[in-house]
Amino acid sequence: MNVLTVVSVFIMTVLGIAAIKTVIPNPNASKLCLLGYRAVCSFTPASTAFLVIAAIATFVIARRFLLI
């Protein structure tokens, strides 16, 4: 396996975990998120979408340039 392939899989995994973590409810959060509840990230829908898009972009770039 190529080192860049391992790095890209690691980046996609971290981005995926971060996207999931942004929607987790947190009663100790200082502000409500845009969906109306207290979440780990107060920019929940936007930050989750950004992280998912970044993970997909990493996948597309890795598939196009590294794995073929």
pLDDT 10s digits, 22-50: 999 999 988 898 888 999 888 889 999 99
The dihedral formed by the CA atoms of 7, 22, 50 and 3, expressed in degrees to the nearest 10: 0
> What pLDDT is attached to residue 34?
87
> What pLDDT is attached to residue 68?
53
User: Do residues 42 and 29 touch, judged by C-beta distance below 8 A?
Assistant: yes
Residue 58 burial (C-beta neighbours within 10 Å; 0-12, 13-18, 19+)? buried
Structure tokens at 13: 């995994």
Average pLDDT, rounded, for the chain: 90
Q: 5: which residues sit within 8 A by CB, 6+ positions away?
A: 62, 66, 67
